[in-house]
Structures are given as C-alpha cells and as structure tokens.
Amino acid sequence: MLYGLHKRRVYSLCLRMTGNTAEAEDLTQEAFLQLYRKIATFRGESAFSTWLHRLAVNVVLMHLRKKGLPEVSLDEALEPQQEDGPKKDIGARDNVLAGSIDRVNLERAIESLPPGYRIIFVLHDIEGYEHNEIAEMMGCSIGNSKSQLHKARMKLRDLLKISRAEKAVRR
C-alpha cells in the first residue's frame, strides 16, 4: 500500500535528479528499503509523505556524492561567467514566455540541464525545498544555491525559447 501510493513521486524525484532510468529505479528501491527499515523511527513531526520525500532526497544525494557530485564553486558565485552577462537585447524585445510553454517541453528542457543545475532546480522549484535546506543537503552556501538556481532557470529560458521558435518554424 505504501509503495503503491508513493512510488510514482519517489521515482519521479529520483529520475529528475539523476536523469538516468536505471539509476532512478535502483535509488527508488533503496529509498523504500530504507523506509521500511526506519519506519519505526517516524514520530509524526511532519507529514509522512514529507518524511519519505526527505529520505528519498538523501538517498539520491548520497549516491551522487559517491559518484562525485558536481562541485559548486564558491568563486563561481562571486564572479559571474561571461555567459551570465547582462541580457540587454539590442533591437526588438523577445516575446515573454508566459502562457507559451507546456509541461511536455518543460520536462524535456529540465532533462537537458547540466546535472548540477538540474539537481538544484528540481529540489527548489519542483520539490519546494528552501535554499537553506538545499545548502545543508548539498554542503554549499545559500548564495551558491541561489546562484545555481538562477543559472538553471536562465538555461531553461534559453532552451524553451529555442523550442518555441522551432515549433513556430514547423507550423
């Protein structure tokens, strides 16, 4: 029953964070195994789903650390790279994205993100963790978490605009 109710959310989390189906399945299995081992320690301080969710996130992060989690450089946060220069478009403004993207394209774009950006984006914007929580989980500063999230969103913006332009050409 527990597995049936929660497997989809746990698996989706693992898949979005790793970008790999086989890894995500292994991690889902590990997360539920830990759930069954630790269920007796659940004291009800939070909703059960929240507790399970946090457990799954920790399982994924531990796995990624063993693999060599993409390092978040402190220097990177303080000195913006060239690609992060001001987006001052000369000439006509681009149409804003509002109302023009759908979940299919957004999921595709998220899959395309570099792993470091994708992890933070998934944790913050999809799963709802705060920057202080992410910083603690990832072993980075809150400033780094915000910087990486911003870069993830900027990259998604570019990918979604390209996707929208390609669709317009196909029509």
Partner 1 sequence: MTCAEFQRVLPYIIDTGGNAEQEQHLRECAVCSDLVQDLRYIADQAKLLVPMEDPSPRVWEGLQKSLEREGLVKAAPARRPLLGAPAHGWQWAVAVAALVILAIASFLLHRPEAAPLSMATGSQSQPTATDQDDQQVLQAVATLPPDVRSTYEQGLKDVNAYISDARRSVDQDPNDPDAREFLMQAYEQKAMLYQMATHSGE
Q: Is residue 60 within 8 Å of 18, Cβ to Cβ?
A: yes
Q: How crowded is the C-beta side of 55, counted as CA atoms within 13 Å? A: 24
Report 129-168 residues binding partner 1 (CB under 8 A): 143, 146-147, 149-151, 153-154, 156-157, 160, 167
Cα–Cα distance between 43 and 133 in angstroms, integer? 20
Q: 64 or 113, CB closer to partner 1?
A: 113
Measured from the CB atom, the residue of 59 and 147 that comes closer to partner 1 is: 147
Query: Which of 17, 28, 51, 52 contacts partner 1 by CB under 8 A?
Result: 28
At position 102, the amino acid (one-letter code) is D
Give CA–CA dist 149/151, Å, rounded.
Answer: 5
- Considering only residues 93 to 112 of the shown chain, the ones binding partner 1 according to CB under 8 A are 93-94, 96-98, 101-108, 110
Indicate the burial class of 122 (C-beta count within 10 angstroms; 0-12, 13-18, 19 or more). buried
The site for partner 1 (CB under 8 A) is made up of 1, 3-5, 7-9, 11-13, 15, 24-25, 28-29, 32-33, 36-37, 47-49, 80, 84-89, 93-94, 96-98, 101-108, 110, 121, 125-126, 128, 143, 146-147, 149-151, 153-154, 156-157, 160, 167, 170
